[in-house]
Structure 1
Amino acid sequence: MIFSRERPFLLVGAGKMGGAMLSGWMAQGIDAAAIVVQDPAPSPEMAALLSRHGIRHVTEVPQGLTAGVVLLAIKPQLMDVVLPGLKPAVGDETLVLSVAAGTPVARFEAAFGPVPIVRAMPNTPAMVGRGITALFPTTRVSAAQRDTVDRLLSAIGTVEWLDSEAQIDLVTAVSGSGPAYVFLLAECLAEAGRKAGLPADLAARLAEATVSGAGELMHRSSEPPATLRRNVTSPNGTTAAALTVLMAEDGLQPLMDAAVAAAARRARELAG
């Protein structure tokens, strides 16, 4: 590992994503004494996690601390406030790892100078060890640093390395924001069931179990989604009737195209 008790892993922001990542690392047995969490007001759940593992919690960077890794898990809108205060903790060999959407490498280089930087885009299924994280490293990232990042983020799901920083905005639109699209699908399916005549609570249970079960089936299967879809579609049957609507020219695909494009556009806007 590229961090230690002497050069700790500084986690800046212990919200949902930062907390999910920290929970995964604790489950992997990472030395809690090599981690420092900076957050002005952690949630009760996060405070309990920190206390349970004996992880050091601070509201400001401790004087004299130089980090091996600085993980930025804060909202992009807070960067102007937070980055200046972190500069004393960032040495020439400190790896800066950011999970903030729409915040380009150039912004971190302006704040910290020519240090190794990795931009990451995880998603919330990391909270249950089923996330996927896309990563873009700058040329200053060493093989050892890349290996550490890979090992850390593999603890909360799958890892994909990107060829260009521009791909981060597209990843944000597909997998970063994607869980919300799936949750909306469950909401819409439940509402359609209610409108068709089912009790609302039953429709919700059916929809949630169907979406989560189909996701698990896709996870465990070696078949692509299109094959799985065809496997449950009998000719002229009920599923085929529904798919005629969903796969029409004005069906689900153009809506998803527009949604992903809107998310990617917003990510670029956040980057300024």
Structure 2
Amino acid sequence: MTYRHASMVLATSLALVLTATASAQERMPPAPHCMDAVGVQEVEQASPRSIALRAASGQAYRIDFAEDCPGVRAATTLKLEAPAGWACGRPSERVVVDGHSCAVSAVTPVHARDYASVARDSDRLRTATLPALTIRQRKEVRRGFGGSASYCFATRNVRAWSSDPQGMLVETNPHRNGGHRYYRVELGSHCRQLDRAPQLSFRSGMQNGLICGNPGDHVLAAGFENGDLRSDGLAPLPQYTRGACTIQAVYPASSQASN
């Protein structure tokens, strides 16, 4: 995908800026909010005034521009010019998009949920601006949303799940989900069907096998079989034997304790 190619160019260009002394020593940020720009993993853009990046550490950041800087995801070459490879929002920092320089005004750490929202909107915007298709072109352009591992997991890779007051925590195969083992799934409301459901399944609103928090994404609780003692005391019974819960947001969680 274009944004992955761009982030590789970004990381490579920054590595060339670092001095041998800086790269040989332990890298300490000039300020707590600064982003280590070496080894940037992903770059997303849902607004011309900002971009979202995921650093090598996994921490996500938002970079704001002094003026509109569109076209980051579609860029052929993308460079971040920052002293010693640290992006902090200083006047000397800029992002160069296909030769066009965009001054950086601020750098801010963001939560995984916020980054996932930007990534999802970025993917939707890119899909919405694809050119009109002809029959001969149809095979060359993806259909629907591709979905990034930053905000999607594939239903076929789900290994386990648990429910809690925040929604759900889903365990997946990290080798098939961008290295992420756990995903936080936020629901439209507390889904009581999940509390003692023997099994469940996920339904993709885009019908592509990906759960991203897109419209139509649901988790479906399976019913208890007749005579199952786990159904005792659950009233009214139909509420617990069937039902779909709306999925509002999906994003990686670092561990079982992550929110």
TM-score (norm 2): 0.29
User: Which structure carries more strand by proportion?
Assistant: 2
Structure with more helix by fraction: 1
